[in-house]
Amino acid sequence: MESLIIGATEDSPEINFDLKSNRFMISGKSRPENTGKFYTPVLEWFDKFEKQVNASGNGKSEPMDFAFKLEYFNSISAKYIADIIMLLKELSLKGNNIHIKWYYPSSDDDMLEVGKEFADMVEMNFDYVAY
């Protein structure tokens, strides 16, 4: 399985899921014209990743760092972000060490609150990092 790297555009975020470093990041703005078309390959990749990790047990020894550094996302993107976070919860429940950082602009209390809502939804701890 290969890492998943998708460059950012004006309307879609950068996806950098680096298998070698076990670091995964979604950053930028998420308001793609066709949100489903953008996120479906990401979710498909993640589904394969989850199956591989659970089959091999690789994730159970090394922590996986997931970072969300979104400047903005629309409501449709929020659904897909929630789906990804739910997949992280599933990995965590299977004994994998998942570490989630939620980055937010220091002047954007709403983005901080959204991160807290996602954390509450999956009952996981997030680290909140203002920038």
Q: What is the pLDDT of residue 124?
A: 96
Average pLDDT in the 99-124 region? 96
Q: Can you give the residue ranges of every domain in the chain?
A: 4-130
Within 8 A by CB and 6+ apart from 90, the residues are: 50
Q: What is the mean pLDDT of the chain?
A: 93
Q: State pLDDT tens for residues 59-97.
A: 555 789 999 999 999 999 999 999 999 999 999 998 899
Distances (CA, A) of 18 to 65, 77, 78, 88, 112: 10, 22, 22, 15, 25
H/E element, 92 = helix 75-93
CATH match of 4-130 with 3.40.50:
no
Rounded to whole angstroms, how far apart are CA atoms 33 and 101?
A: 27
Number of residues written out for the chain: 131
Cα 108 off chain centre by: 19
